[in-house]
Structure 1
């Protein structure tokens, strides 16, 4: 029964993203196209500026190399507070005593300590306003995430130079403020401020004529989004009355929030209703003909459009309420046209997704493609979202030359890279001439063309993102029901979509990793590694390839720690993907463009792929290494069109309780056999403030190491040879504790 269901699913999913008759094949001709630099030169990711600005207690500490947890602990033991991470190998820090800098410079792993001057805090686009009477609207970011930035602003700036100030509810170290350039100059002198950036100007991402798309019926396979809850933030939803909505949403609304206009979630623009129809419209008003991608999913909707026509809402509130209501997929077809910048909304998306690693957010790339490269806007520039560009549809009879080549990226679709050189969009999906639900309260002029009273045409990356969001819900349902995963990570869904994508032989700055193909995505093999890696740690896998006729794709993805808004580059935790072919040839992740394919190492992106158009048959060795993990451990996901045969390491996960009633209950012993020399990694989490220690014994019972365990931090110990070992986890202080222990070792 399960096999028949899977076969039926494959049959219908062939069509699900190849809407309107898109072919399942794609051009696969040698190397990827594009000219991307994936290896940034190491150094401070700060502007080189003069030392104007006087004394400061804020400094940047640069380490000798990839950051070890012990180095951070040693600095914190001195009493120095570490703030945001900056590439490469650096932290902003606050000195508390006069001799702190000398103490730092005596540490063997500290390369240099330099002042973090006020001018380093200001975004380049704001610097021309410094000291003037010009009024600016800004976001001010604080050093300490626990400190309310509002108080800092009122202390730092004079009353006449600062206007409205409002803290973000769920990120109180960030304040939104209106102030003069003179106030801006005053604010950046504060040691509690580390960055000031422009406020985002959000807009809906649709601007091309649209005609038609038919979302496919997936009921026969049973994967229709049933049991999935999808969040959308947009202009509004039809009438805004849950009891009197477009028929395609009847019984589908779990929550409807009006945040742009209090008490009014109606869609006067038409954009939000159209987007929601593409995601999960049931097709009720068309006898099931014009369904969304996940026609049985439920909807959590936030109406953002204000009476003045702009979009209002805090990212943390929108995502947080959707998450609390059960949404694990979120679709966002709006953003700021800020030419590849990592703006405030990008940071806020990354922060929320880092804290909720099972939430997948899909964001429209924008519609500025006609202006060339680096036109993608925030929040699509966030590291942890899936940024979706648009391809043409296959409807030349209604769309003319804007819908006559499904293997072509639409001319309006915004291009990468981001300002710091990262590859965006991640993926593309059909976005021209899309037919979807029509808001009954939006005027006719808001649509490019009407179909009937219930449906209308629109086009843009706004239309591509919800199509893929519905597809992601189908994929997630597949993982829960067919693969029996409890909480598939967003990194896994991203890796599977990217490994399954069709290469269109377009420049990767246009197509990302290709056009989504759900059929190929569900056929990938995968690993969803939740414990993660620390600096210097490595996980290996064996992947077998049985045929040469299809490209081999191996994709590594991880949800990265949010970047500092003071940094020029955004990658924090840097993992490296290396693949060794049966013949011994090596490939580095994202080294696509110039032979050899193992001479450049990506230190910009949190998605890496090895893609081989005509692979050798045989066994490939896949390595994932934690090159630099300053905010770890770093979980990751791996998805491949090959077959994962084995994991190159043993792993035990144990749970238990320790208490001080009896001596024997104060510790627990676990044995394991390492098949080669290497390293043991132990990760322990527990439920209170107890102190634990770990002792490592060899096969003779001799003690090799005794270490204090740090809560939620990995401990790495050398194993000098193959053989049997034992570890003892012991309660040092506290009456009792419940713990979960994970250990990995060579096998």
Structure 2
């Protein structure tokens, strides 16, 4: 660690100002006015009593004023912050401690500054505008071009970007890339001009251009509890992301796939890579082709753009600025443990200025790399500068049992903050690929879209509870973290973050309104009273805030520092979790303890077996230099020790397949017995007995046929079982297309033993929809124009008497074109002997069999969408159909006699 102190500085018009420094042995702990910037400790001089503006060097003059660092004796109150703002005294960025990058007009009164608590004013030496890598000559090969290097320059808002570009051109510095609506410019510069570049007054920051983008790739719904909040049960939760839009920022076009039917926008088309396809399927696939490969938010709109590391590309900005997209996913890396970069600042800024936005990222698959944190190759290797953002989500990767993958990148962040933020299943998932195919997909690339998809589900849950109002992305992040299942060490850790996502508990917190928002200013305390009900076995209180973006290169990156203290009904006080950030493997793997946190923009107090009563939640503005600061308080009450989470609703299993049973266990000490029943609980059979820390087990489904399946889990006095029966049955085999005619198609399949009827599916505007039910193993249904549209179809068996239904078959596909079978003699005879009149009709239509040898027939009426309007049986040769409640349009009337069928068109006027 380098220590420096500013000496007395002099005005010099003819040469660039160089602040003289000398080695200082005073440590930060001894001097509260020492500031930390990258790898240097800097002692700020107490010079306000003798300071005059003419002491500032020429390279500090900008826009009829000055830029530099200003330090206060103590963090200014909100009144002083507001007074400065009203007088155009701009406190641009905060640098711990009590120090800001400033712009003050040239006529600013030094006396006013003294009276406002200013201690020190110094110019910013050029070296402090350069990233640590640039100062130390760490230039990656991607940034070296002959004797030139590629850098990203950030200029002050006080000057126009075009002015900067024109001025740089006079110095033989060329623009490599300019970003819309941004002060960031990528430059190609001679490798010997860094010092001169950094001394330019409009230059705020310079860093090595971002490292090349690398994709982070190598049975998610149940372990994420996404299935619990998107159920098929009547009256169950149906949060599938409808009304919410997600964004896949990835490797280009996502291939055409039936699982995105009617919901994909932007770069859609076959060809190219398949990384974005895998991400999109986990996040938003509908399972239209394979019903078992449904993604998290199957009702969300999917927008596809290219991954651009700057996050300033027009495709991204257009969609997030217009609030067209609320949740983004980027499963890419750029370097490793890169510190708080311009890109980290960009994504943090976007989430503070666009409240409905939530950025979700992969944490990376770089465990095993030493990325400079100081604890070897198993720690501090979260990839990419954008993932170091305070307000975004970085996701760890587990297998389908919740075991952390060895490749999953670990925290801390560069400054010791908790990263990753949360964990999800990514490894070995089956997801979409291009041209209606699937692929095996994994890594944190697959974990992140799991979080993004569950987030979209939670957005919908919030909208349903709040009259369609969109939630803050920060609130959704807070609820995700506070309701996560605790995996790894107790409390947060640097492997799983705050734990494994639990979509069900998160949705219940939203439904119950267990959240509030307020704001806080410097030095003040807000108290919120929350009642903990009797019977609560665990209470969690969390405060979270979208922190103001830090200045690039800052360490620590925290700007506004809030403190949480919880006071119980007995006046006992409780502090939040804290982790040991010492760069040593043993320290970093030590379980969290309780204390005061001055690193993270999230704090949580967890209480086991809390007494019922009123708890005071004190939120204090310990250090709020950029206030006021909005924050969220969220709370979670767990009242059951053991909760089965899968299967709990109506599910359809296949004999002999492997299913993974999932549950939540809180404060459990006894082994857990897992059992199943196929007769609605009349008898039980053992699946396994597992340790109290285990939260899932595999089960080979019994080879039976039933609609009365249940799972039960027991640990000592605690027990839970499925809320609804599940079915076990084989699905129909041999599904084929028999004929495709201009307005209808005929399909057939093999019978399933015990089936009473069959539900037949056709792809609708977005999803596979039931268009008919028959007791036969063949069906004829109306279809849209088959000469231009593919037909996707499937079938499921059911027995309503026994209460079971099979899983729908994987969808078949008939590519566009006719394959119309000419009617056989018997069918032709039936068709010629059926009369449908009047046609068109308005109130009533008659079906008559001309040949008296035909009688006792069945009638089915289907509309043009494939929906069955009515069925009836006729005795004799004629029947009347009441169509008075039909809307105007085309209908299909199918008549079945002695196993023969014919279909007539009916026009209702």
Q: Name the TM-score class by shorter chain.
A: 0.5 to 0.7
2:495 alignment partner, SS class = helix
What displacement does 1:248 show? 0.8
Whole-Å separation in 2 of the counterparts to 1:352 and 1:491: 12
- 1:301 partner SS: strand
Matches within 5 A, 1:108-123: 108-123=116-131
Say which is worse superposed, 124-133 or 193-202, in terms of deviation: 124-133
What SS class does the counterpart of residue 611 from structure 1 fall into? strand
- State the match for 1:423 in structure 2: 418
**Structure 2 CA distance for partners of 1:578 and 1:209, relative to 1, 3 Å:** closer
Specify the alignment match of 2:483 in structure 1: 500
Change beyond 3 A, Cα 1:387–1:432: same
How big is the shift at 1:352? 1.0
Tell me the CA shift for residue 389 of structure 1. 1.0
Larger gyration radius, structure 1 or structure 2: 2
The aligned counterpart of 2:154 is 141
Q: Is 1:392 equivalent to 2:391 in the alignment?
A: no
Equivalent position SS for 1:376: coil
Secondary structure class of the residue paired with 2:498: coil
Counterpart Cα distance in 1 of 2:571 and 2:332: 46
Whole-Å separation in 2 of the counterparts to 1:42 and 1:416: 29
**2:35 match:** 44
Q: Equivalent residues in 2 for 1:167-186 (5 A)?
A: 167-171=178-182, 173-186=183-196
Residues 67 and 49 of structure 1: CA distance in aligned 2, closer, same or farther (over 3 Å): closer
Q: What are the residue-to-residue correspondences of 1:407-556 with 2, within 5 Å?
A: 408-440=403-435, 454-484=437-467, 486-506=469-489, 508-524=493-509, 532-546=519-533, 550-556=537-543
Q: Is the 8 A contact 1:167 1:174 kept in 2?
A: yes
Structure 1 residue 591 corresponds to structure 2 residue 604: no
**Tell me, what secondary structure is at the counterpart of 1:523?**
helix
Q: Secondary structure at the match of 1:106?
A: helix
The 1:435–1:250 alpha-carbon spacing in structure 2 relative to 1, beyond 3 Å, is same
For residues 405-440 of structure 1, what are the alpha-carbon distances to aligned partners after superposition, in whole Å with 9 as ceiling and x for unaligned?
x2x321111111111121111110111111100124
Deviation at 1:362, TM superposition (A): 1.1
In structure 1, what is the equivalent of residue 274 of structure 2? 270
Q: CA deviation at 1:186?
A: 1.9
Distance 1:556 1:503 in 2: 18
- 2:287 counterpart of 1:283: yes
Residues in 2 aligned to 1:296 and 1:42: alpha-carbon distance in whole angstroms: 53
TM-score (norm. length: structure 2): 0.56
CA–CA separation in structure 1 for the residues paired with 2:120 and 2:253: 55
For the residue of structure 2 that corresponds to 1:636, the secondary structure is strand
Distance apart, 1:93 and its partner CA: 1.9
Q: Secondary structure at the match of 1:494?
A: helix
Q: Distance in 2 between matches of 1:590 and 1:101?
A: 45
Corresponding residue SS for 1:509 = coil
How far is 1:291 from its partner? Answer: 0.6
In structure 1, C-alpha distance between the alignment counterparts of 2:559 and 2:398, rounded to whole Å: 31
Q: Contact conserved, 1:158 with 1:183, CA < 8 A, in 2? A: no
CA contact (8 A) 1:205 1:334 kept: yes
Shift of 1:112: 2.0
Gaps of 5+ in 1: 1-39, 240-244, 258-263, 306-310, 395-405, 441-452, 644-747
- Tell me, in whole angstroms, the C-alpha distance in 2 between the residues paired with 1:43 and 1:205: 40
Q: CA deviation at 1:81?
A: 4.1
Name the residue aligned to 1:68.
Answer: 77
Distance 1:298 1:494 in 2: 20
Q: Structure 2 residue aligned with 1:93, among 97, 102, 105?
A: 102
> 1:140·1:195 contact (CA, 8 Å) conserved in 2?
yes
Unaligned 5+ runs, structure 2: 1-30, 45-55, 61-66, 370-377, 581-589, 639-909
User: Partner residue of 2:202?
Assistant: 192
**Alpha-carbon offset, residue 108 of structure 1:** 5.0
1:586–1:597 contact (8 Å) kept in structure 2? no
Residue in 1 aligned with 2:262?
251
Q: Structure 1 471/207 Cα, relative in aligned 2: closer, same or farther at 3 Å? A: closer
Within 2, Cα distance between the matches of 1:86 and 1:523?
Answer: 39
Distance 1:73 1:550, change over 3 A: closer
- Deviations 1:627-648 (Å, cap 9, x if unpaired)? 33333322221111139xxxxx
- CA offsets, 1:597-656, max 9 Å, x none? 76x42222111111234434433211122233333322221111139xxxxxxxxxxxxx
1:166 equivalenced with 2:177 (yes/no): yes
More deviation, 530-539/364-373: 530-539
Whole-angstrom CA distance in 2 between matches of 1:77 and 1:186 = 34
CA-to-partner distance for each residue in 1:376-429, whole Å, 9 max, x for gaps? Answer: 1221111111111112223xxxxxxxxxxx2x3211111111111211111101
Distance 2:543 2:313 in 1: 27
Of 616, 634, 639 in structure 1, the residue corresponding to residue 634 of structure 2 is: 639
Post-superposition shift, 1:105? 6.0
Find the aligned partners of 1:291 and 1:493 in 2 and give their Cα distance.
22
| Cα distance in structure 1, aligned partners of 2:417 and 2:506 | 23
| Alignment match, 1:234 | 250
- Higher helix proportion: 1
Single out whichever of 227-236 and 348-357 deviates more from structure 2. Answer: 227-236
Output the CA distance in 2 between the equivalents of 1:74 and 1:572.
Answer: 20
The 1:108/1:247 distance shift into structure 2, 3 A limit, reads: closer
Q: How many angstroms does 1:512 deviate by?
A: 0.5
Tell me the secondary structure at the aligned position of residue 153 of structure 2.
strand
Q: CA deviation at 1:477?
A: 0.9
- Aligned residue in 2 for 1:353: 351
Pick one of 55, 68, 76 that aligns with 1:59: 68
Larger RCO: Structure 1 or Structure 2 (Cα < 8 Å, ≥ 6 residues apart)?
Answer: 1
CA distance in 2, matches of 1:325, 1:107: 44
Q: Deviations over 1:280-323 (max 9, x none)?
A: 1111121x221111111111111348xxxxx6862575144245
Q: Partner residue of 1:725?
A: none
Equivalents in 2 of 1:292, 1:77: separation in Å?
50
Per the alignment, residue 92 of structure 2 pairs with 83
Q: Secondary structure at the match of 1:379?
A: helix
Equivalent residue number for residue 686 of structure 1: none
CA–CA distance in 1 between the matches of 2:504 and 2:112? Answer: 55
Moved more, 360-369 or 75-84: 75-84
Per-residue deviation at 1:95? 5.1
CA deviation digits over 1:690-747, x for unaligned, max 9?
xxxxxxxxxxxxxxxxxxxxxxxxxxxxxxxxxxxxxxxxxxxxxxxxxxxxxxxxxx
Partner Cα distance (1:595, 1:504) in 2: 12
- Extract structure 1 runs of 4+ deviating beyond 6 A: 130-133, 212-215, 592-598
Measured at CA, do residues 345 and 78 of structure 1 come closer, stay the same or move farther in structure 2, by a change above 3 Å? closer
Aligned length: 556
Distance of 2:608 and 2:405 partners within structure 1: 25
Shift of the 228–390 alpha-carbon distance from structure 1 to 2, 3 Å rule, reads same
Partner residue of 1:376? 382
- Whether contact under 8 Å (2:561, 2:598) holds in the other structure is yes
Are 1:605 and 2:586 an aligned pair? no
Question: Could you say what secondary structure the match of 2:551 adopts?
Answer: coil
Aligned to 1:201: 211
Structure 1 residue 236: Cα displacement: 2.5
CA contact (8 A) 1:235 1:271 kept: yes
- Equivalent residue, structure 1, for 2:550: 563
Does structure 1 residue 151 correspond to structure 2 residue 163? yes
Q: Deviations over 1:29-79 (max 9, x none)?
A: xxxxxxxxxxx987423234799x976523211112233233235556776
SS of residue matched to 1:218:
coil
TM superposition shift of 1:570 = 1.7
